[in-house]
Structure 1
Amino acid sequence: MKTIVFAGAGSMAEALIHGWVKEGVVLPENIYVMNKSDQQKLQRMANTYGVQIVCESREIVKKADCLILAMKPKDIQKAMEDLVPYLQLNTAILSVVAGVSMDTIEQTLGKRPMARVMPNTSATIGMSASGVAFNSSTTISLKEEFMHMLEAIGLVIEVQEDELHAVTALSGSGPAYLYYLVEAFEQAGMKFGLSQNVVRKLAVQTIAGAAEMLKQSSEEPTELRRKVTSPGGTTEAGIKALEENHFKDTIYACIQNAEAKSRELASVKKNKKL
């Protein structure tokens, strides 16, 4: 794709731009960013990444190979209505707008190649875990191109669009769960006399090390856990406490609530026609 136009300049738009420019996936002179409300941010992005900024005119949309919807969900309908007169028939759409289905987008922008991706905030450091879904108009070659572009911000896995609710609950919201875990580690460690700084360093490195073990090892998590858990030892005592306090049930409830909320928000937007 030669010309890419961003409608919106939020954190996810900047994460994509950062990854693409850093990895050389898209030349910065071929990236155009539109945002009405924050001209200072546009200028900063232009200075940082070398992208082109667009303030009021929508003419550049006529030249877009790909239009990226990166505005807030509440703003998407008005934005699409403003943009559709300029869209060409062969312009592809990539949406990072949470809770807005491709069917809803097609109702305004028409049937065209489209991808909807759910990254997480780790995209800003190139470490996102993203799920992406495509519509039936997207060719295999275009899918591959989208996948290549999205891999610049981390791991990306193709799923069915309905599965994006579970992806949102698991990896989209996942960083917050892990930050909450570190909060709990800090509170517990400090009760035993360790400083917050010491607990945080130990907790972060422990999580990073365990994650890397899962990436590099072919063994299942259950087996890796078993190797750490010596009979009658400290780890076994800790695991017993997790089991007694229904740790797995709590995690399931967490994912279940988040997945249900994602569906609820999508349903509200659909019923209100955005």
Structure 2
Amino acid sequence: MKLALIGGGMMAEAVIAGVLRENVLLASDVFVSEHKAARAEELRRKYGVQAFCSAAAFLEDMDVVFLAVKPNAAEKAMEELRGHLRPDAVLVSIVAGLTLSRIENMFPQQPVIRVMPNTPLAVGAGMSAYALGSCAEEAHEEKVHEILAAAGKVVCLKESLMDAVTGLSGSGPAFAFLVIGALADGGVAAGLPRKEALLMAAQTMLGAAKMVLDTKRHPAELRDQVTSPAGTTIAGVRVLEQRAVCGAFLDAVLCAAEKSKSLGE
């Protein structure tokens, strides 16, 4: 399988790092089109992939083509791709807000899949959701699923839910980084050295997430196990409830989802 990425930004790099780390593809089978020559050279040097400033030289040989550009550059990128894809090549969009209908208007007979991954793909802990276009068949889905599953969890959903996916798992890592940073600051305020506080905060979040995934128990139930009567944890939880932290996170996800929806209008 040969994979092309149109655009060499952070999300494209996350896909590259994921498939190479898990040996899904060889570096020689990964091609990148990035208009900034310095960035193309950086990706070539860092990962050993084939990186160019134009896709013209390799596009017609690709099995899977990821459209990984900014939303405002998507139309131009699709114009450049049109007429150069193999009929059986899978066109995969990871562009926030770009709907299947808009893509299929330009590629009416092409197998198309819309994906929303997130940046932890780069460390093998990504979360990706995808929706199938009208011409995408099981064989096309399997190729894309293999690429994404090599570096994290994958779910198939209706396209109508993709804006919600963007708000939760697409933007969610940034929200989690805020929490980790805040917890570390709390540790420093309580007397811990910065390095150890950051380690504890990050590992605590990682461990809590793994408990939810591995036990499949509701977070509220797991929280109750930590929250002893009149203990330290309930004292902290009380502050979080008073500051409406849960409501703030809920609103953050909804706001990010609405922004994703507006990008597609």
Using the size of structure 2 for normalisation, the TM-score is: 0.91
**DSSP 3-state at the match of 2:83:** helix
Matching residue within 236, 245, 248 for 2:246 = 248
In structure 2, the CA distance between the partners of 1:224 and 1:50, relative to structure 1 (3 Å rule), is same
Q: Which moved more, 1:46-55 or 1:78-87?
A: 46-55
Give CA-to-partner distance per residue, 1:130-178, whole Å, 9 cap, x none. 1111112111232122111111221111111121111111111111111
**DSSP 3-state at the match of 1:24:** coil
Partner of 2:191: 193
Partner of 2:133: 135
Matching residue within 150, 153, 174 for 1:152 = 150
Amino acid at match of 2:30: I
> Matches of 1:66 and 1:210 in 2, distance apart?
35
Residue 117, structure 1, aligned to residue 106, structure 2:
no
Partner of 2:100: 102
Give the CA deviation at 1:124: 1.6
Unaligned runs of 5+ in 1: 268-274
Give the CA deviation at 1:187: 3.4
Partner of 2:60: 62
Give CA-to-partner distance per residue, 1:84-127, whole Å, 9 cap, x none. 13223222101111111121112223332111111112122121
Unaligned runs of 5+ in 2: none
Matching residue within 73, 76, 81 for 2:74 = 76
In structure 2, the CA distance between the partners of 1:246 and 1:14, relative to structure 1 (3 Å rule), is closer
Is this contact kept in 1: 2:120–2:126, CA < 8 A? Answer: yes
**DSSP 3-state at the match of 1:85:** coil
**DSSP 3-state at the match of 2:184:** helix
Identity of paired residues, percent? Answer: 34
Amino acid at match of 1:103: S
Give the CA deviation at 1:228: 0.9
Using the size of structure 1 for normalisation, the TM-score is: 0.88
Amino acid at match of 1:131: A
> Matches of 1:221 and 1:181 in 2, distance apart?
16
Which protein has the larger Cα radius of gyration, Structure 1 or Structure 2?
1
Give the CA deviation at 1:59: 4.4
Amino acid at match of 1:24: N
Residue 93, structure 1, aligned to residue 91, structure 2:
yes
**DSSP 3-state at the match of 1:86:** coil
Q: Which moved more, 1:42-51 or 1:5-14?
A: 42-51
Alignment RMSD, CA only?
Answer: 2.0
Is this contact kept in 2: 1:59–1:86, CA < 8 A? Answer: no
> Matches of 2:204 and 2:73 in 1, distance apart?
41
Partner of 1:47: 45
Residue 173, structure 1, aligned to residue 204, structure 2:
no
> Matches of 2:93 and 2:15 in 1, distance apart?
12
**DSSP 3-state at the match of 2:58:** helix
Give the CA deviation at 1:42: 2.0
Aligned length: 265
Is this contact kept in 2: 1:6–1:32, CA < 8 A? Answer: yes
Partner of 2:10: 11
Residue 35, structure 1, aligned to residue 28, structure 2:
no
Is this contact kept in 2: 1:15–1:153, CA < 8 A? Answer: no
Is this contact kept in 2: 1:61–1:87, CA < 8 A? Answer: yes
